[in-house]
Structure 1
Amino acid sequence: MLFILITAVSIITVIVTYLVSQIRKPKNLPPGPLWWPFVGNLPELKKLSKSLGGQHLALAQLAKTYKTNILGLKLGNEYVVTVFSYRIVREVFLREEFEGRPTNFFTKLRCMGKIQGVTATDGELWRIQKNLINRHLHNLGLGKTPMEEMIRDEVVEMLSALRDDGSNVKVDKFIAPGVLNVLWTLTTGARISKNQLDELLDLFAARSKAFDLTGGTLALYPWLRFVAPEWCGFNLIQEINNKLKKLFEKIIEEHRETWHEGRNDDLIYRYISESKAPNKNSAVFNDDQLIMLCLDLFIGGNNNTSGTLDFGFLLMILHPDVQQKVQAQLDTTFSKNHILEYSDRDKLPYVEAVILEIMRFRHVAPLAGPRRVTKDTYLDGYFLPKDTTILLSLHSINNNAEYWKDPENFMPERFLDENGLLLPHEKLLSFGSGRRRCVGEVLAKTCIFFFFVEILKNFYVSVTPGSKLPSSKPVPGMILSTEPYWATFTERS
């Protein structure tokens, strides 16, 4: 009897000790709510995200509740910290110990089984992949002739389609193919076929809506893939991965068959050339890495660029006075037959202010990151243990009344001085900062400028008669999107 009692007390003691360790916070962790054993703050965050319309809004509300610019949570067994002020976000961008990426199960699943590509990697592997992309973009001239020609060709196709029938255009379905074709040409050397285009857009849409930025429930409880693979999304992401891998394997094989020494005219050829150089590490240069590198470019570039343009044309519908001012500046600055160049943006301060305000007012990626803390450190006086995940709330910076007057209103003039010249805009961190600044920043900016300016130079955009006037309120997700809307593009004389 005594043995049974001692055993029972021992078991209870172990359980209580474990439960206490599950809810105990590390000393000096950033403020935040108490957490539950095993699940941490996950139930509270999910409930709040649903009621407020987005994870970024739920995190901001919790930060407001606990009166902090650095919010500390525990999701499952992972510490997750979210930063809200410009000063601290910029510090995270610039400090080396915050350059890591999470290495959890979901990150590996996203990368088809292991950490690879450029978005989810860090350290030497990330540096090599990033430098390869940068070299390819530099060879294209970044904002210069080859890249501009590539984008201009796509714009010509889009303008032709609008002239044929611009009466009832579902804008997101019209913009995304144009952006994806630019990225496809950059990567594979040719425009994408219609069947491949439709398939890719459907796969990317499903992928972006499947999980939140922390990976969702599956990231926290990987064992769910064995008991509820459909419910947790495991089967979905596996199906998407398999389809994408098969598509890119075929394209890479075609490139290998036509490659010759010195051929670097698209990203795949350049990667093959690099892999054949003497003493190249096969763990860094292989087909799996190349597939993930391509996917990182497509997913990041397409979602962010097409999403920004989608919001841009929506805001022109909702603010026709702004659209008229954009078109007036274009008309007075250029002739109708002027061939647009990226350098022309310097002659269009109001147009540039409008584009900046679109990115501030409806930035499609409200949470930048996630970052991984690579060693025990401190941030603004708070302790962050090694491997803590950090999210950066760009949405909070873009909507902070201390930085922006009337941030809830769409006002391009906030980026102009009294003489109508463009003001510095260092607090707009749409593409990040520091060494992990977006590698496709110039490409994205060039696409946005050309698509936005050329379409408004040639067409007036309005809501399709008889359709519902859309709201500018974003649809929540890892990437914010517009409500579906239909527009009429009327050719200007």
Structure 2
Amino acid sequence: MASLSWFDNLISSVLSRENVVAVVVFLIVTCLVRCYLTRRSFVNIPPGPRPWPVVGNFGGFFVPLAVRRRLGLQAADNVDTNIAQFLWEQTPLYGNVFSLFLGSQLIVVLNGYEAVRDALSNHPEVFSDRPDIPIISIMTKRKGIVFAPFGPLWKKQRKFCHTKLRKFGLGKLSLEPCILQGLATVKTELLQQNKNGGSAGVDLAPLISNAVSNVICSLVLGQRFDHGDHEFRTLLELMDRGLEICMSRPALLINIFPLLYHFPFGVFKELRQVERDITAFLKRIIASHRETLDAENPRDLVDMYLVEILDQKAAGEADSGFTEDYLFYVIGDLFIAGTDTTANSVLWILLYMVLYPEIQDKVQAEIDSVVGTQRVPSLTDKGSLPFTEATIMEVQRMTVVVPLAIPHMASETKEFKGYTIPKGTLVFPNLWSVHRDPAVWENPDTFNPARFLDKEGKLLRKECFIPFGIGRRVCMGEQLAKMELFLMVTNLLQAYKFRLPEGKPRPTLNGRFGLTLAPCPFTVCMTPRR
């Protein structure tokens, strides 16, 4: 563990356990006054439940489950698994557009396809900004691609990254060998684990995460990491843990009382250590690229960004926004976004395959009839595997790995659906609700890949299917993710029959809610198919 910084030491001495109570009381009183004054200023906002003092409507989230049950608050139990589902379940009470408070911060939740599409597609100039959420801002400094405010600098950075990544194959068939290389390693490792007693079940998560992450690492960092690389494996685990902490109860408290981030114990201390370790890893890579940079032959996105910094300085545009500091946050965003969401999507698909073996059989039969057993599936096979594609899409619909998207913010006061959305309001587009909306999906809670096929068995594209978001903040890596999902799923299902270990309980489909919705840990047994 790295030693605490001088500031952490200061906080540690000031916030000794004897002084914590006094500090908390002061913060509560301050928040009570601020909440009272803030809420009085809101007029004609969407309806919603009455907020608790200080913590707002997330008060029940901080009350232990056993206490909530004793108080008869069973409806809030869903918060322990999927907040997005819980918010969707409130629409009969408050409608598809309703208000919540996190402390004194107003949040407007958009439920259902029509409300989400209207806000993000028809009014992108208002609803494309990012809020200043304390826990996110502390760690990202509001820089990068994912969490940076909407504006000229963000547009410039996103356009640069998207353009340069395409030169290295983003969204193109030329990237297929890179993805297949990682898959070959996965299949080799799975075969070995299967020989070494696979009847007990294999945890697929580390292998899938490594393979997915190596694709973005090849594009951004110009290198791959071996599955046995301890530092890289630790980094992926830290990333997963950091995302989990960021959506935990303590993290929500940081958003109400930012000073809690510096508390010298518990998950607050752990979160700071996670941040330090990830920072050290990425900054070592930037330093290595700087020392070996050949401006005429850039190897990856980091090199191209460093070249851009030099070009901007040579042109006398030192304040252009292209700096090594900003590069660090860009890499962090791409690394996390390019790993966590796709890896979880692959794991969800494989989990559904073991829970619905008849669908797995049907997908494998289609792969066998189109691809055969003499070669591995390719992106060129995609159009000939409609049921396989429909199955992937249906799992994405059922799970939605980023169920609340990334929070948006109203950049100006806006009249929307008859209500006033004040400037600075957090806006949660509930993508979970979009994909469970009975207004656009028949029997939305039923797993049915056929809903994405027409009567002739051809793939149906539906505008209400938006797992990657919609509007100007749509996921930049959508095409890459689709390529990875198709190649990984088809290659693994061509090679193996997946099933549950004998005697083990059936895995839950509730998932673990962090910044993304990940499946709960599960193991599978595999039988080679060829």
The aligned counterpart of 2:147 is 120
Name which of 7, 11, 21 aligns with 2:37. 21
Q: Equivalents in 2 of 1:391, 1:273: separation in Å? A: 37
The aligned counterpart of 1:74 is 101
Letter in 1 for 2:208: I
CA shift, 1:369, in A, is: 2.4
The aligned counterpart of 1:101 is 130
Q: Equivalents in 1 of 2:381, 2:165: separation in Å? A: 20
CA shift digits 1:170-205 (9 cap, x unpaired): 022221111111121221111124112211121112
Contact 2:82 2:511 in 1 (8 A): no
Instruction: Answer with 50-59 or 368-377: which moved more.
Output: 50-59
Instruction: Answer with 168-177 or 44-53: which moved more.
Output: 44-53
Contact 1:22 1:36 in 2 (8 A): no
Q: Equivalents in 1 of 2:60, 2:289: separation in Å? A: 49
Name which of 200, 214, 219 aligns with 2:235. 200
Q: Equivalents in 1 of 2:233, 2:42: separation in Å? A: 49
Asked if residue 160 in structure 1 is aligned to residue 188 in structure 2, the reply is yes
Stretches of 4+ aligned residues off by more than 4 angstroms: 15-20, 45-52
CA shift, 1:93, in A, is: 1.9
SS at 2:343 equivalent: helix
Asked if residue 209 in structure 1 is aligned to residue 244 in structure 2, the reply is yes
Instruction: Answer with 433-442 or 465-474: which moved more.
Output: 465-474
Asked if residue 59 in structure 1 is aligned to residue 117 in structure 2, the reply is no
CA shift, 1:31, in A, is: 0.7
Distance 1:322 1:221, change over 3 A: same
The aligned counterpart of 1:398 is 435
Asked if residue 39 in structure 1 is aligned to residue 67 in structure 2, the reply is no
CA shift digits 1:208-258 (9 cap, x unpaired): 1112299511012113345x4535x43222211111111111111111111
Instruction: Answer with 38-47 or 245-254: which moved more.
Output: 38-47
Distance 1:240 1:283, change over 3 A: farther
Identical-pair percentage: 28
Contact 1:40 1:76 in 2 (8 A): yes
CA shift, 1:350, in A, is: 0.5
The aligned counterpart of 1:360 is 397
SS at 1:378 equivalent: strand
CA shift, 1:20, in A, is: 4.9
Instruction: Answer with 397-406 or 345-354: which moved more.
Output: 397-406
Alignment of 1:14-413 (within 5 A): 20-24=36-40, 26-47=42-63, 49-52=76-79, 53-66=81-94, 68-94=95-121, 95-111=124-140, 114-122=141-149, 123-166=151-194, 167=198, 168-193=201-226, 194-212=229-247, 216-225=252-261, 228-231=263-266, 233-277=267-311, 278-282=315-319, 284-413=321-450
Q: Equivalents in 2 of 1:330, 1:104: separation in Å? A: 45
Q: Equivalents in 1 of 2:32, 2:232: separation in Å? A: 55
Instruction: Answer with 310-319 or 29-38: which moved more.
Output: 29-38
CA shift, 1:37, in A, is: 4.2
CA shift, 1:50, in A, is: 4.5
Distance 1:45 1:30, change over 3 A: farther
Letter in 2 for 1:230: F
SS at 1:485 equivalent: coil
Contact 1:133 1:439 in 2 (8 A): no
Letter in 1 for 2:272: Q
Distance 1:163 1:39, change over 3 A: closer
Q: Equivalents in 2 of 1:289, 1:477: separation in Å? A: 25
Q: Equivalents in 2 of 1:120, 1:213: separation in Å? A: 19
Contact 2:34 2:104 in 1 (8 A): no
CA shift digits 1:340-379 (9 cap, x unpaired): 3323211111010000001001111111120011111122
Instruction: Answer with 46-55 or 16-25: which moved more.
Output: 16-25
CA shift, 1:280, in A, is: 4.2
Q: Equivalents in 2 of 1:265, 1:16: separation in Å? A: 54
CA shift, 1:76, in A, is: 0.9
The aligned counterpart of 1:423 is 460
Letter in 1 for 2:289: H
Letter in 1 for 2:40: R
The aligned counterpart of 1:8 is none
Root-mean-square deviation (CA, aligned residues, Å) is 2.3
SS at 2:90 equivalent: helix
CA shift, 1:492, in A, is: 0.6
Distance 1:25 1:420, change over 3 A: farther
Distance 1:135 1:352, change over 3 A: same
SS at 2:415 equivalent: strand
Letter in 2 for 1:257: E
SS at 2:108 equivalent: strand
Q: Equivalents in 2 of 1:216, 1:20: separation in Å? A: 20
Instruction: Answer with 417-426 or 30-39: which moved more.
Output: 30-39
Distance 1:253 1:174, change over 3 A: same
Q: Equivalents in 2 of 1:379, 1:466: separation in Å? A: 53
The aligned counterpart of 2:7 is none
Instruction: Answer with 345-354 or 27-36: which moved more.
Output: 27-36
Q: Equivalents in 1 of 2:280, 2:236: separation in Å? A: 16
SS at 1:81 equivalent: strand
Distance 1:223 1:165, change over 3 A: closer
Letter in 2 for 1:212: M
Instruction: Answer with 246-255 or 128-137: which moved more.
Output: 128-137
Contact 2:82 2:510 in 1 (8 A): no
SS at 2:526 equivalent: strand
